Amino acid sequence: MLVACSHGTDDVRGRHAIRGLVASVRAARPGLDVREAFVDVQEPRVDSVVRAASDEGRDVVVVPLLLSAGFHVHVDIAAAVAAPRAVAAHALGPDPRLVEVLARRLRGAGAGAGDAVVLAAAGSSDPRAARDVEAVVARLRSAWTAGPVTVGYGAGCAPRVPEAVAAARLAGASRVVLASYLLAPGYFHGRLLEAGADVVAAPLVGDGALVDVVLDRFDEASRALPPREPG
């Protein structure tokens, strides 16, 4: 069983987008039991989904629908998979395919030569999550050669997105484009629209590469499940 575990949101568009991603994962792997779970805001919570599957004697792989491995991966999801025959996959990022999606989103938003790009991430107080984001920034700098690439955070880390936008303008950029390093619309994406950039690219959900990343995370983590006893 694949348990697709996202943060949860009150935003109707965000809920629809994540539900669509889970449906696409389900459609891409017929016969795989794919269930949705959350660490906050929405139900069912990931621990209850894993516990119910464990009580049924099922093998469970929780795939975090999270771009970085912060508190929710290392604490909430880690606690949920303490059940027998349950494991957690790595977060979706960093992954080169996510950088390709970011580049496609930038091109789709009209970013071009001379524009300053700010990778806008949700942010986390967990330094491991910040390292994941920095790895994506480094890859995007290599992939996006049309202009400078910096980073800004919505919370937990510095610089915050409005500060990063202001710094790009002080450095001489005539246009600043935000690359939304977010899975789906919601609270943080709404704040990006108010951060002072000229253009805000769309979140990542809706690109087929995300489905491939989710299934790869599932396959990698499945190999860590202990073999079943014969009979």
List, for residues 57-87, the tens digit of each pLDDT value: 899 999 999 999 888 898 999 999 998 899 9
Averaged pLDDT, 32-56: 95
Averaged pLDDT, 103-128: 94
Task: Tell me which DSSP letter residue 172 carries.
Answer: T
pLDDT of residue 230: 67
Q: Are the C-beta atoms of 119 and 142 separated by less than 8 Å? A: no
- Which segments within the chain are labelled E, that is strand? 2-6, 34-38, 60-64, 86-88, 116-121, 149-153, 176-181, 199-200
pLDDT at residue 12 tops 70: yes
Is the Cα torsion angle 186, 158, 201, 77 positive or negative in sign? negative
The rounded mean pLDDT for the chain is 95
pLDDT of residue 77: 95
* pTM recorded for the entire structure: 0.95
**Where residue 226 falls among pLDDT bands split at 50, 70, 90?**
confident
List, for residues 14-23, the tens digit of each pLDDT value: 999 999 999 9
The fraction of the chain above a pLDDT of 70, given in percent, is 99
Averaged pLDDT, 212-223: 97
CA distance 211 to 96: 14
Give CA angle at 12 (10, 17), nearest 5°: 110
The fraction of the chain above a pLDDT of 90, given in percent, is 85
Q: How far is CA 153 from CA 56, 89, 106, 125, in A?
A: 41, 25, 18, 11
pLDDT at residue 231 tops 60: no
pLDDT at residue 133 tops 90: yes
